[in-house]
Structure 1
Amino acid sequence: MRKRASTASAEEPGEDRQFVAAIARGFDILHAFRAEDPILGNQELAERTGLPRATVSRLTHTLTRLGYLTYLPRFGKYQLGLAAVPLGQLALANMGVRRMAAPLMRQLAEETNASVSLGKRDGLAMLYVEHVSPRTAVALQLEIGSRVPLCVTAMGRAYYAAAPEEERAALEAELEERHGGDWPRIREGLNEALRMLPRLGFTVSPGDWNPTVHAAGAAVMLPGGEVMALNCGAPAFMLDRERLTGEIGPRLAAVARRLESLAGGTVRAA
């Protein structure tokens, strides 16, 4: 299992005296939980965060005392506690772009019979902050709070292609270190996104993340330079590459431009 890059590792001696590494390590623990892995033990948390087992034990004890984790004696493991819920709800409530995006996303999902999501970067992943599924039996099993890899998904590639050059360079260095021998293939997909986004307004991931899923992605430039991204995807048998590039991508790009207009953002120059 690949470990998550520790937030605390950002601190080097003398680099940032205002940075509190102990707090960062606590958030590393909370960020290790996923919708698909809601229950984790200290060993699993140590593997995911790269923190020593003894440090993890102290952090989980403290976070449990504060209510941010709940200990499950039956399993000898932890899950996120109720104290974490208001923080996420408040963050989402303060994200006005979600309210503007939701009706546009709903309309696109119903008209294309595909799932539509809005996300923002979370390390080397994209975090879903809004998600709409079509009213069909066949839909992607993802929801708000899901994380998908930045480097091989349509949403992540759209974000990467719209990000400032210095951020892209930092991402590339971290991705190369993380993925090793897979980096040349990953870089090829990112380079394709760099070519596609300015020219077409969208990117694609035809099975690159999951061979059974095809998706298009589009960046959303918000006021102040914040970058978010949309995706629209469906099972591959419902969404071939021709439809992906000829219909879904252009329609998703149009939704992104409409959302930018509503939010008062600007489109990055090609």
Structure 2
Amino acid sequence: MSQDSPITLTLDRGLQVLRAFRADCTPLTDAELSQRTGLSRAAIQRLASTLLHLGYLRRAGGGTRFELASGVFGIGQAWLDADPIARAATPLIQALADKMGAAVALAVPDQLDMLTIAYGSAACVESPRRGVGTLAPMESTAIGHAWLWGLPEYERRRYLLRLLEAAGVQAQTLRKAIESAFDDLREWGVCTSQEAFEHGIYGAVALPLRAGQWRMPMALGVTTVVSPPGIEAMRARVVPALSQVARELTVLLADIRVGPPGH
């Protein structure tokens, strides 16, 4: 082991703790953080103490649960201010959100989650306000399934193996759900799902796209309250506008030099 390996490992574990928090903003105990990260409670307690001191975590209501603190948002805002995709895509995405009376997200992968990098939400409707920087599970969301579908086949298989391994005893159920989404994408060019968020049921429609000089895979999704006659009618209403914005984004972002991490 090299001299700097322990420092690198500690940093990686600290980032795992921060990534354990999700879009619902629910404060977490050390036991819940341990369950989400796979780290021991003793390790969580040491890491949380450091993250508290550095201003990346705080105690929710002065109790025993942890929540993200302003240090995280400062880093996120710095990234957002510098990101050319967010700056260019947000006006189009907000226009689509206003037109559909919905929430619209452009997302890329972050390990086995989907990270929202541009976002818009209509003020006139109740819809999930996840916002830029929030994570959604790749395995169970329309935007995650759409992104998977947009990958080259060999890379898609690699991600599917990782997702199925992480699913454990639910792997077979997950496989069927993803295959059903892929069937929709073959037939319609989009996939749909129903997702629970903040005590509401929402319908999501998403499609894959590629953007930038390196043709980076992304996914674009619309989420809105499901109302009668249901998600099929919502798909028929949303798909033409969603597809049009995806084409416009592909053109708009064509010259941006952006690629996967490390590029």
Q: The TM-score by the shorter chain falls in which range?
A: 0.7 to 0.9
Quote the residue 2:260 is aligned against: none
CA distance in 2, matches of 1:73, 1:136: 31
Range that drifts further, 150-159 or 130-139: 130-139
CA deviation vs aligned residue, 1:118-167 (integer Å, no higher than 9, x gap): 22212222122332222324323433333222122221111010123333
CA distance in 2, matches of 1:216, 1:31: 25
Tell me whether 1:233 sits opposite 2:218 in the alignment.
Answer: no
Tell me whether 1:212 sits opposite 2:204 in the alignment.
Answer: no
Aligned partner of 2:43: which letter?
T
Aligned partner of 2:42: which letter?
A
Equivalent of 1:249, from 239, 249, 262?
239
CA deviation vs aligned residue, 1:167-189 (integer Å, no higher than 9, x gap): 32222122222324433343233
CA distance in 2, matches of 1:261, 1:19: 42
Aligned partner of 1:201: which letter?
G
Tell me whether 1:171 sits opposite 2:173 in the alignment.
Answer: no
CA deviation vs aligned residue, 1:177-210 (integer Å, no higher than 9, x gap): 23244333432332344344466432222x2x34
- SS where residue 106 of structure 2 aligns? strand
Aligned partner of 2:240: which letter?
P
Range that drifts further, 142-151 or 115-124: 142-151
Equivalent of 2:62, from 74, 95, 98?
74
Quote the residue 1:9 is aligned against: none
Aligned partner of 2:236: which letter?
G
Aligned partner of 1:96: which letter?
P
- What's the CA shift for 1:72? 5.6
- What's the CA shift for 1:19? 9.4
CA distance in 2, matches of 1:140, 1:68: 25
Range that drifts further, 157-166 or 257-266: 257-266
Q: Percent identity?
A: 29
- Unpaired stretches in structure 2, ≥5 consecutive residues: 257-263
- What's the CA shift for 1:242? 3.5
Aligned residue-pair number:
250
CA distance in 1, matches of 2:236, 2:66: 46
Quote the residue 2:30 is aligned against: 42
| Pair 176,103 (structure 1): closer, same or farther in 2 beyond 3 Å | same
Aligned partner of 1:133: which letter?
S
Q: Is the Cα contact below 8 Å between 2:113 and 2:144 reproduced in 1?
A: yes
- Unpaired stretches in structure 1, ≥5 consecutive residues: 1-12
CA distance in 1, matches of 2:6, 2:150: 30
Q: Is the Cα contact below 8 Å between 2:23 and 2:136 reproduced in 1?
A: no
- What's the CA shift for 1:47? 1.7
Quote the residue 1:123 is aligned against: 111
- What's the CA shift for 1:236? 1.4
CA distance in 1, matches of 2:6, 2:42: 25
Aligned partner of 1:169: which letter?
R
Once superposed, what is the RMSD of the aligned Cα atoms? 2.9
- SS where residue 20 of structure 1 aligns? helix
Tell me whether 1:110 sits opposite 2:98 in the alignment.
Answer: yes
TM-score, normalised with respect to structure 1: 0.80
| Alignment of structure 1 residues 10-49 onto 2, 5 Å | 20-49=8-37
CA deviation vs aligned residue, 1:12-44 (integer Å, no higher than 9, x gap): x89xx7992221101011111234245333222
- SS where residue 76 of structure 1 aligns? coil
- What's the CA shift for 1:239? 6.9
Q: Is the Cα contact below 8 Å between 1:128 and 1:143 reproduced in 2?
A: yes
Quote the residue 2:45 is aligned against: 57
Q: Is the Cα contact below 8 Å between 2:209 and 2:250 reproduced in 1?
A: yes
CA distance in 2, matches of 1:18, 1:259: 42
Quote the residue 2:261 is aligned against: none
Equivalent of 1:156, from 108, 129, 144?
144
